[in-house]
A and B are shown apart, each in its own frame.
Chain A
Amino acid sequence: MKRPLVAITLLFCAGIIFASKVRIGFQIFYVSALILTLFSFILYKKAIADAILYLIIFCIGSSIITNSQILPKSHISRFVYFKEKDPYIVIGNLQNEPELNNGRLSFIINASRVRLGKTEIKCRGKVLAYLNGTKKLHYGDEVILTGRLHKPFAYAGGARTNYGDYLRSQGIYTIMRIANAAHVEKIGRNRGFFLKRIAIFLKTKMEKMLFNSLPEVTAGVMAAMILGEKNRVPPLVYNLMMKTGTVHILVVSGFNVGIVGFITILLLKIMRVPRSPRIVFVLVLLLIYCLMTGASNPIVRATIMAAVFMVSYLLKREADIYNSCCIAALFILFLNPKQLFDIGFQLSFMSVLAIVCLYPVFSRITVERFAIRGLFKFLAEGFLVSLAAWFGTMGIIAFAFGTFSPVTVLANIFIVPLATLITLCGISLVAIGYIFPLIIPFFASVGELLVSVLLQINAFMSNLPGACFRLH
């Protein structure tokens, strides 16, 4: 079989879906997998061996998700008591850079010890902490927090996926509310992964350069497109982009990974760096970029796919897009099988697969059949890529968000090329700006114009009749 990973991935996903729907314990799936493994050794040379191997994959998928739902005895959520009035003291390391929203700081810690009264217990697990006020904290800091601990609540009104479910899918089973900064004590630094610390440092510097060189709105849009910082995009802009189905340009994804990879390879070629070191350098840079932008599903998928292609190039082997997509999916699902039910995961993979499967078909029946050339070919290809991605994702978007945007295909023809130019301009600004600060104003002017044109086109598209329909 040319693409064995496709069958493996599909069966693995089927196992995850099956186990999440039925109430069967981890032990059943695990023992089944063990028995099947034994049979696969016994019947190794028989025709049925392949079927047994696929069943094992199915059982492994089921085992992984059922196992992920079992919390260890030392998990911090097991020490959260309902109606506990005394404050908890939790000691742990910060897992991310804190975010400030409406005067409240939020961050995630990996708890190592918890104290209630005079009892101190070793524990593990993530805690989402909310602090009223601000405090200078960074990724990797070891802290002692004092506050109220509770389990996540569901939103009132019964949303399809409530906040508690969302947090649990991210591995967070406990929330801590801290009254003020006096209840946060920093006792250590630099405990995290060193590459992530470098990534966060670079991100902070790049964000500072963007906001120092550009007006706030332009810098906010560029920071979202390049660094994954969506917090400073004006709400109206975000909502209009949701309406026109172009909000994906504000999410760092494979598109950005491609541009960063392309620019880096180009610059290294110019510097006459040999092929192997060039590829290794690009892989490390893409890993840092992945960490810098928050390592969301689309970025992890794109980084792994890019890594597979580059390693194939290095080893002089043919890379296959379906196999590389499957490797990325398996990587994400092994780490966290609940991501299969995450909208971002589904949209990211569906859009890539739709483009890969549908675009050649559309191209054959239009561009190739009518021998379209030149600028029309370029425009037609852009349209067909948007159309393929739209076909692949409209079902998921309609189900999850209750919207149907026919204007998406038309809007993407204009907005995606603009977004490419804005990303190129922004990356050039932050990369070259440190070396030649005198050229920053020129890049800033071009960036401002491009963002202004993008927002005007988007506003125009959203006002077209029939641009977007609400389904529920």
Chain B
Amino acid sequence: MFSLTKDERRVILFLTCVVMSGMGIDFAAKTFPPVKRIVCVQAGLVKIDINQATLEDLLSTRCITKKLAQSILEYRVLNGPFRELEQLKEVKGVKDKRYEKLKEVLYLK
């Protein structure tokens, strides 16, 4: 009555492993900040650093045209590195709507 088949054992083992791992990860992420940095996806993995981006990097996103990318790089050359992301609004061609889209693909390290 209490003996499990091979398949039942597999499924129960998988579920218990996931639940135990999940609890452990959750606890570690809340208690140790370095663990949180590993567990959570960092901005650098999914967005481009506005101060390190090349023309190719900017064009590889879906929402930056060549003209806009050149304007961003030109702004960086003339005014130095960006100190905050809001400075993007000072770039030619970036209004509020465009800025909201750029925030999804660019970040400031």
Q: Are the CB atoms of A455 and B11 closer together than 8 Å?
A: no
CB distance from B63 to the nearest CB of A (A): 7
How many positions in chain B have a CB within 8 Å of any CB in the partner chain? 32
Q: Are the CB atoms of A425 and B48 closer together than 8 Å?
A: no
Cβ < 8 Å to B, chain A residues 210-269? 215, 217-218, 234-237, 239, 266-267, 269
Q: Are the CB atoms of B46 and A236 closer together than 8 Å?
A: yes
Task: List 9 A-B pairs, minimum CB-CB distance, nearest first.
Answer: A442-B22, A234-B46, A445-B22, A445-B25, A455-B45, A217-B41, A235-B61, A442-B19, A445-B26
Residues of B within 8 A of A453 (CB): 38
Q: Mark B1-35, 1 if CB is under 8 A from A, else 0.
A: 00001011011001100110111011001000000
Q: Are the CB atoms of A452 and B48 closer together than 8 Å?
A: no
Closest B residue, CB atoms, query A263: B11
Known contacts A266-B10, A270-B8, A439-B19; decide if A455 and B46 are in contact (CB<8 Å). yes
Q: Are the CB atoms of A444 and B22 closer together than 8 Å?
A: yes
Q: Are the CB atoms of A239 and B26 closer together than 8 Å?
A: no
Contact-residue bracket for chain A: 20 to 34
Q: How far, in angstroms, from A451 to B46 measured CA to CA in the complex?
A: 12
Q: Are the CB atoms of A443 and B18 closer together than 8 Å?
A: yes
Candidate in B15, B18, B47, B60 with the most chain A CB atoms within 10 angstroms: B18
Cβ < 8 Å to B, chain A residues 443-472? 443-446, 448-449, 451-453, 455-456, 459
Residues of A within 8 A of B11 (CB): 266-267, 270
In the complex, whether A441 has a CB less than 8 A from a CB of chain B is yes
Known contacts A234-B46, A234-B105, A235-B60; decide if A425 and B18 are in contact (CB<8 Å). yes
Q: Are the CB atoms of A452 and B25 closer together than 8 Å?
A: no
Seed contacts A442-B26, A448-B40; 8 additional CB < 8 Å A-B pairs? A236-B60, A236-B105, A441-B26, A442-B18, A446-B21, A448-B41, A455-B46, A456-B45
Q: Are the CB atoms of B105 and A235 closer together than 8 Å?
A: yes
Residues of B within 8 A of A267 (CB): 11
CB distance from A470 to the nearest CB of B (A): 10
CB distance from A279 to the nearest CB of B (A): 16
CB distance from B3 to the nearest CB of A (A): 14
Q: Are the CB atoms of B105 and A452 closer together than 8 Å?
A: no
29 A-B pairs (CB sep. < 8 Å): A236-B47, A236-B61, A236-B105, A239-B60, A266-B10, A267-B11, A269-B5, A270-B5, A425-B18, A439-B19, A439-B22, A441-B22, A442-B19, A442-B23, A445-B21, A445-B23, A445-B29, A446-B18, A446-B21, A446-B22, A448-B39, A448-B41, A449-B21, A449-B25, A449-B38, A452-B38, A452-B41, A452-B42, A455-B41
